[in-house]
Amino acid sequence: MGSRALLMLTNFNFKTTVSSFGSASNPFFLIKNNLRTRNFSTKTRSSLQPPDLPGLAETARISLAPNEVEEFAPKIGQVIDWFGQLQAVDLDNVEPAIRADTEGDNLREDAPQTFENK
Amino acid sequence: MLSTIQPPRYLSRFPLRGRTKSRSFHILSSAQPVTKTCFAADQSQILSIRDSLLNRHLSAVELTHSYLDRLKQTEPHINCFLHVSDPDKVLKQAQDIDDKIKRNEEVGPLAGVLVAIKDNICTADMPSTGGSYILEGYRPPFDATAVKRLKDLGAIVVGKTNLDEFGMGSTTEASAFKVTANPWDLSRVPGGSSGGSAASVSARQCVVSLGSDTGGSVRQPASFCGVVGLKPTYGRVSRFGLMAYASSLDVIGCFGSSVADTGILLHAISGHDSLDATSSKREVPDFTSQFTYASSLKSRPLEGLRVGLIRETVDAGVDSGVKSAIEGAAAHLEQLGCVLKEVSLLSFSLGLPAYYILASSESSSNLSRYDGVRYGNQASSDELNALYEESRAKGFGSEVKMRILMGTYALSAGYYDAYYKRAQQVRTIIRKSFKAALDENDILISPAAPSAAYKIGEKKNDPLAMYAGDIMTVNVNLAGLPALVLPCGFVEGGAVGLPVGLQIIGAAFDEEKLVKVGHIFEQTLEGYNFVPPLVTDVGGASPEL
């Protein structure tokens, strides 16, 4: 995956960060570092704002007002901490499921079809 | 209060010659005409309507007037609808049905049945906003497949119901436009995200309605509003025309005031659709052929049915009133002959964070289409990115924005493996554990929610508290299984109590068994009235015959 290549470029120790997601002591500090090293834009960030929210908002193409950032940051932080509990689960050798169903026969015949040349 | 015994052929997709069929079953039928305001939950309104129309006891126009009047009287209290169809158009459709019947022409099996559609399901001739400002006033150029199938069978769409924006929420408070109230207690929520659809059936503003279920959005409001909600297996109903929230979890589900009606509605909309690549090619059995009516039931009709009560759903954290209602329902099932035992699903609690990771991530991708360019409201700007950012900032509500941001985070480089992939792996574990449980049991039961309806505003500021309420329902979406929720009792609250629903979960594509069990359960459940006082208070104009 391209993301892994990026991580190698930035000399980022993935394992450390993963193990810290579960910890209560300010995981965002480490996430902040992670994003800074991978951030190639020239935009400066205020050190008062939680750094990941503006970056995410830019990726998601939603402009956030400062009061929204203030309002969302703790809530999103809380939920993402809660997501972190999945780190503790032993998931070795478990196949990821793209969706629930096991039917995979929804492809049409591999036969050429002629369409109108519009 | 017996319902008609209906030969299954009645509900085939092809319109039948009304007259000949009705003559034969008129002798057998003992259905009461709808105008005797029999809103009892164990009757099939759809079958009663069909009987009354074909036997000329009632005209479609009179029936429509009755429902529209009740809608007009109850709507200011509960605010279910974002858009109500023009009454003249609706009455004209009803008139057309009456004319056809007069001329002895075929009418579809859902002729004259008033249906409400959740506003995230596209309807060509009405606005479809998804509960969001970004699509305010948007009129889709097509009907969703489910809507098209209903219209082809003669159903009349009475309006579009309120929802949490794009299906994200569990109370219908996250709608951009209005808050819907629970007909049982106007200070409480109807549940979400299909709160408007559930409340409108509960208040008898329409006969049945369609909703969507991604994490419990049909089942939880059904429990809160005291109506029946049916979530089909993933792939049973085409998602074409359903505004996508989480594509691997979304399904279109049905609401009705009885299991029979909900089953009939599901049968009408199910089936393969080439426009939805995830729709199943499996045969759709006639769910309605499972109906056996109270008079012809033997003493233990569900003899030998193996029922598993999910232990984790009656543990700590569940309201004691809900627990006792479920225990009562379990006892009722045992009386009907079921073999009840407790089942433990060890990975149960993992489902909730896994669900929210998957749903937020998929929604962050699905909602990227709302860019102010293709459709919907556009903010003015000179630069493209600013145009996107402003349009989306103005169009989306805060819950949607938060979920998109969380999803963007969970999918971003470096976090994909930690969150999204792990959530998918948890999905595999949950699928397997449900499959194992359903190999040993015919059905599984649980409450649909840990409590009855909350007060409006109670959960608004605490997202985790809101999410915690979905614990009973999300695992079923992750496993893609079908589930039925039907009212089984009450807890304290409101004027006469607040309804509680029993959730019955079946194996994949086994909706038939769910409908059969649910139908027998509700026919034999005594001592409960699941019509909210709002309906009886308002009176409703029942036309004189």
pLDDT for the residue numbered A108: 75
Strand partners, B182: B185
How far is the C-alpha of B523 from the C-alpha of B42, rounded, in Å?
Answer: 5
> Measured in Å, how far apart are chain A's first and last C-alpha atoms?
38
How far is the C-alpha of B52 from the C-alpha of B134, rounded, in Å?
Answer: 43
Cβ-contact B113, B207 below 8 angstroms = yes
Res. A30: pLDDT tops 60:
no
Q: Is B428 in contact with A6 (Cβ distance < 8 A)?
A: no
Compare all CA atoms of chain B with the CA of A93 and give the residue at the minimum distance: B425
Q: Where are the domains of chain B?
A: 47-302+475-537
Alpha helices in B160-294 (DSSP H): 195-202, 219-225, 259-269
DSSP letter, residue B88: H
Q: Count of residues for chain B?
A: 545
**Which ipTM score applies to this complex?**
0.81
Instruction: Give catalytic status of residue B3 as yes or no.
Output: no
* Residues of B in Cβ contact (< 8 Å) with A96: 421, 424-425, 427-428
Series of mean pLDDT values for 10-residue runs along chain B (545 residues): 36 36 32 37 79 93 96 96 96 96 94 97 95 94 97 97 97 96 97 96 97 97 97 96 96 96 96 92 83 75 94 91 96 95 93 95 96 89 94 95 94 87 94 95 96 92 90 95 97 94 96 94 91 82 33
Instruction: Give catalytic status of residue B187 as yes or no.
Output: no
Handedness of CA B240, B244, B248, B251 (dihedral sign): negative
For residue B209, the Cα-to-chain-centroid distance in whole angstroms is: 7
Cβ-contact A27, A20 below 8 angstroms = yes
Q: B363: which residues sit within 8 A by CB, 6+ positions away?
A: B166, B168, B245, B246, B400, B403, B404, B407
Q: Is A51 on the interface with B (CB under 8 A)?
A: no
Q: Is A94 on the interface with B (CB under 8 A)?
A: yes
Q: Where are the domains of chain A?
A: 53-88
A41 against B484, higher pLDDT: B484
pLDDT for the residue numbered A17: 37
Instruction: Kindly report the nearest CA distance between residue A118 and chain B, in angstroms.
Output: 22
- φ, ψ of residue B235 in degrees (nearest 5): 100, -10
Compare all CA atoms of chain B with the CA of A62 and give the residue at the minimum distance: B389
3-state DSSP assignment of residue B67 = helix
How far is the C-alpha of B492 from the C-alpha of B39, rounded, in Å?
Answer: 23
Q: Is A69 on the interface with B (CB under 8 A)?
A: no
How far is the C-alpha of B18 from the C-alpha of B20, rounded, in Å?
Answer: 6
pLDDT for the residue numbered B9: 38
How far is the C-alpha of B133 from the C-alpha of B119, rounded, in Å?
Answer: 12
- Of 3.90.1300.10, 2.60.40.3080, 3.20.20.70, 3.40.1710.10, the CATH number of B47-302+475-537 is 3.90.1300.10
The residue among B346, B453, B338, B463 whose CA lies nearest residue B400 is: B463
For residue range B171-223, what is the model confidence (pLDDT) as tens digits? 999 999 999 999 999 999 999 899 999 999 999 999 999 999 999 999 999 99
Can you list the positions of beta strands (E) in B162-268? 208-213, 228-231, 251-256
Res. A8: pLDDT tops 70:
no
Instruction: Kindly report the nearest CA distance between residue B35 and chain A, in angstroms.
Output: 44
Strand partners, B339: B306
CB-hemisphere CA count at 13 Å for B387? 13
pLDDT for the residue numbered B539: 64
Instruction: Give catalytic status of residue B193 as yes or no.
Output: yes
CB pairs under 8 A between A and B: 156
Handedness of CA B288, B289, B292, B298 (dihedral sign): negative
